[in-house]
């Protein structure tokens, strides 16, 4: 396991992260595979798209299919048929956002499974145990992510709890070669972000994430905070911005020093009929595409753009055809992966600021 920075350009970095299941060039986007599968995609397609690492959701996989089934397969890689690196989140974000019956104590969170109503107890130790069973290349520390509209006192409380929970995660057993990342909270408060960063970064994690972004705060505030905070995370370890975001968000965060991203946006928006292109978003249901014979993005080389017209995709979307979800997801993931790939090349060639500002101007 290693992390090597090949080049920097301002605060932006191009690096290589070596994990148990392979190398990951950064900056990198990680498609989200909630229940094992990246929605609508096969593992083979993801490999062909150039995906190098995907994310699995601990909370969802714990509830379905459950640890027994995952353990019988020897972990998530074999279960999902994905041979490359995988990162698992801790379940913290989901247990707070998806479980309305959750009860929070210093020990952890008690909630009822939305699947079968069974009582569940998620603690730092249990999250690490689940992630060890999942066998991910990177396990995330169990954190407390408060809502975006939480007051300063609640943010402080969640932050301090996250630090104590992080300390409990570290001694827990791990899968062979499994790395662990700590999560910096602190909401939309710069002083709290910096304070938490100073508390957490001395701890022996293999990398650090920024959690609690893109949870409702104004975009300019997020950009300002990223600009102040991201480059202060340890320079010799990977930096991961959780759950973010738009193409513009990614390029801005890369410019601030972030290496890794995950987000449901390319996959979820695809299923809803929104395609990302190098000239901005394309809403396929728009009447103007009814007779449009051109591909979704004339600048794109993905299978969808090589095969289908906008008019046909609009028709498939109107008919609720599964092929639409597939074709749109494939295109959007291709776009996101190409975006981080191009960002990496721009950093290696020392032209990142020009690349990013030109691309952002086209998206807007």
Q: Is 274 in the site for its own copies (CB under 8 A)?
A: no
Length of the chain in terms of residues written? 364
Q: Is 52 in the site for its own copies (CB under 8 A)?
A: no
Least separation in angstroms between CB 324 and its own copies:
8
Q: Which is nearer to its own copies, 18 or 37 (CB)?
A: 37
Q: Is 300 in the site for its own copies (CB under 8 A)?
A: no
β-pair type (109-112, 119-122): antiparallel
Q: Is 43 in the site for its own copies (CB under 8 A)?
A: yes
Q: Is 287 in the site for its own copies (CB under 8 A)?
A: no
Most distant pair of Cα atoms in the chain: their distance: 60
Q: Which is nearer to its own copies, 201 or 311 (CB)?
A: 311
Q: Is 46 in the site for its own copies (CB under 8 A)?
A: no
**Enzyme catalytic residues:** 89, 262
β-pair type (28-30, 119-122): unpaired
Q: Which is nearer to its own copies, 11 or 39 (CB)?
A: 39
Q: Is 315 in the site for its own copies (CB under 8 A)?
A: yes
Q: Which is nearer to its own copies, 63 or 87 (CB)?
A: 63
Q: Is 325 in the site for its own copies (CB under 8 A)?
A: yes
Contact mark string toward its own copies, 182..221, x via CB under 8 A: ----------------------------------------
* ω into 292 cis (within 30 of 0): no
Q: Is 48 in the site for its own copies (CB under 8 A)?
A: no
Are the C-beta atoms of residues 88 and 104 closer than 8 Å to each other? no
Least separation in angstroms between CB 266 and its own copies:
15
Separation between Cα atoms, residue 120 and residue 102, nearest integer Å: 9
Total number of residues that touch its own copies (CB under 8 A): 38
Segment interacting with its own copies, rule: CB under 8 A, options 72-80, 128-136, 180-188, 242-250 = 72-80
Q: Which is nearer to its own copies, 48 or 125 (CB)?
A: 48
Least separation in angstroms between CB 315 and its own copies:
4
Q: Which of 101, 219, 235, 322 binds its own copies (CB under 8 A)?
A: 322
Contact mark string toward its own copies, 219..258, x via CB under 8 A: ----------------------------------------
Q: Is 291 in the site for its own copies (CB under 8 A)?
A: yes
Q: Is 40 in the site for its own copies (CB under 8 A)?
A: yes
Tell me the torsion sign for CA atoms 301, 270, 136, 74: negative
- What does the H/E/C string look like for the chain? CEEEEEEEECCEEEEEEEECCEEEEECEEECEECCCCCCCCCHHHHHHHCCCCEEECHHHHHHCCCHHHHHHCCCHHHHHCCCCCEEECCCHHHHHHHCCCCEECCCCEEEECCCCCCEEEECHHHHHHHHHHHCCCEEECCCCCCCCCCCHHHHHHHHHHHHHHHHHHCCCCCCCCCEEEEEECCCCCHHHHHHHHHHHCCCCCCEEEECCCCCCCCHHHHHHHHHHHHHHCCCCCCEEECCCCCHHHHHHHHHHCCCEEECCHHHHHHHCCEEEEECEEEECCCHHHCCCCCCCCCCCCCHHHHHCCHHHHHHHHHCCCHHHHHHHHHHHHHHHHHHHHHHHHHHHCCCHHHHHHHHHHHHC
Q: Which is nearer to its own copies, 77 or 174 (CB)?
A: 77
Q: Is 318 in the site for its own copies (CB under 8 A)?
A: yes
Q: Is 293 in the site for its own copies (CB under 8 A)?
A: yes
Contact mark string toward its own copies, 16..35, x via CB under 8 A: -------------------x
Contacts with its own copies by CB under 8 A lie at: 35-37, 39-44, 64-65, 68-69, 72-73, 79-81, 290-291, 293, 303, 307-309, 311-312, 314-316, 318-319, 321-323, 325-327
């Amino acid at each position: 396991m290693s992390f090597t920075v090949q080049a920097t350009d301002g605060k932006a970095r191009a690096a290589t992260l070596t994990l148990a299941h392979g190398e990951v060039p950064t900056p990198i986007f990680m498609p989200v595979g909630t229940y094992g599968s990246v929605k609508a995609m096969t593992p083979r397609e993801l490999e062909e798209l150039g995906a190098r690492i995907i994310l699995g959701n601990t909370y969802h996989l714990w509830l379905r299919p459950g640890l027994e089934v995952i353990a019988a397969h020897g972990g998530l890689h074999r279960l999902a048929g994905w041979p490359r690196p995988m990162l698992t989140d801790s379940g913290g974000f989901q247990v707070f956002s998806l479980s309305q019956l959750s009860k929070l104590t210093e020990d952890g969170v008690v909630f009822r499974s939305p699947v079968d109503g069974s009582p569940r107890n998620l603690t730092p130790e249990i999250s690490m145990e689940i992630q060890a069973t999942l066998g991910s290349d990177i396990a995330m520390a169990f954190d407390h992510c408060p809502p975006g509209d939480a007051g300063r006192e609640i943010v402080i409380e969640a932050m301090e709890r996250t630090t104590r929970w992080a300390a409990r995660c570290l001694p827990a057993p791990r899968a062979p070669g499994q790395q662990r990342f700590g999560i910096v909270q602190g909401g939309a408060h710069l002083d709290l972000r910096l304070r938490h960063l100073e508390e957490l970064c001395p701890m022996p994690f293999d990398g650090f994430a920024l959690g609690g972004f893109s949870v409702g705060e104004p975009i300019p505030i997020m950009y300002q905070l990223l600009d102040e905070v991201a480059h202060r995370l340890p320079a010799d370890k990977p930096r991961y911005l959780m759950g973010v975001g738009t193409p513009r968000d990614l390029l801005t965060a890369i410019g601030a020093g972030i290496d890794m991203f995950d987000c449901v946006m390319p996959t979820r928006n695809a299923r809803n009929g929104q395609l990302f292109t190098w000239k901005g978003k394309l809403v396929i249901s728009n009447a103007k595409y009814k007779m449009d014979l051109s591909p979704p993005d004339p600048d794109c080389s993905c299978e969808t753009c090589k095969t289908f017209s906008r008019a046909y995709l609009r028709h498939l979307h109107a008919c609720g055809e599964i092929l639409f979800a597939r074709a749109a997801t494939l295109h959007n993931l291709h776009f996101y992966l190409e975006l981080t790939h191009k960002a990496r090349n721009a950093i290696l060639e020392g032209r990142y600021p020009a690349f990013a500002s030109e691309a952002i101007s086209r998206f807007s």
